[in-house]
Each structure stands twice: as structure tokens, then as C-alpha cells.
């Protein structure tokens, strides 16, 4: 065999091996409301982003993203904001729904070699809730400190 033919054979086999291990993943987001909504989702493996997306809808919208992922442990997050609106999302692994919700979420899950799914959902408030809580506690601490100085 010539060198070029060997190289082409090895490259073709490597490409076929990568396609065989990739798992099709679909993320769907649907929104409805009077004023609109915006948000984003991300999927990361070991801190490096595998996929992400964002949406901005005025009254009604439906977006879908298709990815090919490798087996492994991933971190998933989705968050959005809207005034008088709702957001519904789901994640399909190889065409089967494995995760869904209507609120912000943070989760860690594993895609196995045999295309099965294991989820470990983490209960963490949405970022907007954490921001409001932090601001409220900061103002409370500032007010108490100021009151303490005046009484001394």
C-alpha cells in the first residue's frame, strides 16, 4: 500500500470510531408570555464547554439545539428571566427524554457508553435569587453596622 492510501485508511477508521461513540443529544426550550423571556443553557464536561445556547422570545418561541456528546460526566445549567412568561425545557438523549423542567436548574449527569443516563440533580437557587439574597444581606449588615456606630 502506498503511504497516501494508508493515511486515508487510518483517517477513515479514526473518523468512524469517533462517530460510533458520539451520542446524539437534543436540547429544547419553549417559552410563552405577555412580555417575553430570555435565557441560556450550558453543558460542560470537566469544565470545558461542550455546548451552549441562548434564547430571546417576545411572546412565544421554541428553539432546539442538536449536539453529539461523548460518554462521560457533564454539568448542566439553565436559567432564564421573563416578565409574566413561562419557560419549559427538556433534554433528549438518543431521542429519549431524560431531563425536563420549567425552572432554572443545575445538575450533574453521566452519559454511559451504552447510551444510558444517570442524573444527580443539585438543588441550588437560580442566580437571580442568589443575587437578591446577597444584596439583602449586605444591606442588612450595613444597616446594623451603622446603627451600632451611632449607639457607641
Residues in contact with 19: Cβ distance below 8 Å, sequence separation at least 6, in sequence order: none
Over the stretch 82-131, which tens digit does the pLDDT of each residue have? 777 778 888 888 788 887 887 777 777 787 777 777 766 555 555 566 67
Mean pLDDT (the chain) is: 75
* Residue extents of the structural domains in the chain: 23-151
pLDDT above 70: percentage of residues in the chain: 72
CB 112 within 8 A of CB 72: no
- Which of 107 and 18 is assigned the larger pLDDT? 107
- pLDDT tier for residue 19 given thresholds of 50, 70 and 90: very low
Q: Using CA atoms, how far apart are residues 105 and 126, in angstroms rounded to an integer?
A: 7
Handedness of CA 62, 65, 56, 37 (dihedral sign): positive
Lowest-confidence region among 39-48, 91-100, 128-137: 128-137
Instruction: Read off the DSSP letter of residue 31.
Output: E
Which three three-digit cell numbers place residue 4?
A: 497516501
- Residue 47 φ/ψ, nearest 5 degrees: 85, -15
- pLDDT tier for residue 38 given thresholds of 50, 70 and 90: confident
Q: Using CA atoms, how far apart are residues 89 and 103, in angstroms rounded to an integer?
A: 9
pLDDT at 15: 47
CB 29 within 8 A of CB 55: yes
pLDDT at 151: 62
pLDDT at 7: 53
- Residue 103 φ/ψ, nearest 5 degrees: -135, 170
Q: How many other β-carbons are positioned within 10 Å of the β-carbon of residue 102? A: 11
pLDDT at 129: 63
Amino acid at each position: 500500500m502506498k503511504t497516501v492510501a494508508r493515511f486515508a485508511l487510518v483517517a477513515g477508521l479514526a473518523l468512524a470510531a469517533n462517530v460510533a461513540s458520539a451520542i446524539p443529544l437534543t436540547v429544547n426550550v419553549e417559552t410563552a408570555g405577555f412580555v417575553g423571556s430570555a435565557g441560556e443553557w450550558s453543558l460542560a464536561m470537566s469544565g470545558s464547554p461542550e455546548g451552549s445556547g441562548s434564547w430571546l422570545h417576545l411572546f412565544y418561541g421554541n428553539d432546539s439545539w442538536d449536539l453529539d456528546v461523548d460518554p462521560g460526566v457533564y454539568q448542566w445549567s439553565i436559567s432564564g428571566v421573563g416578565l409574566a412568561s413561562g419557560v419549559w425545557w427538556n433534554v433528549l438523549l438518543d431521542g429519549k427524554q431524560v431531563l425536563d423542567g420549567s425552572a432554572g436548574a443545575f445538575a450533574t449527569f453521566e452519559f454511559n457508553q451504552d447510551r444510558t443516563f444517570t442524573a444527580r440533580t443539585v438543588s441550588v437557587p437560580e442566580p437571580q435569587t442568589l443575587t437578591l439574597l446577597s444584596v439583602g444581606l449586605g444591606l442588612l449588615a450595613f444597616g446594623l453596622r451603622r446603627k451600632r456606630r451611632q449607639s457607641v
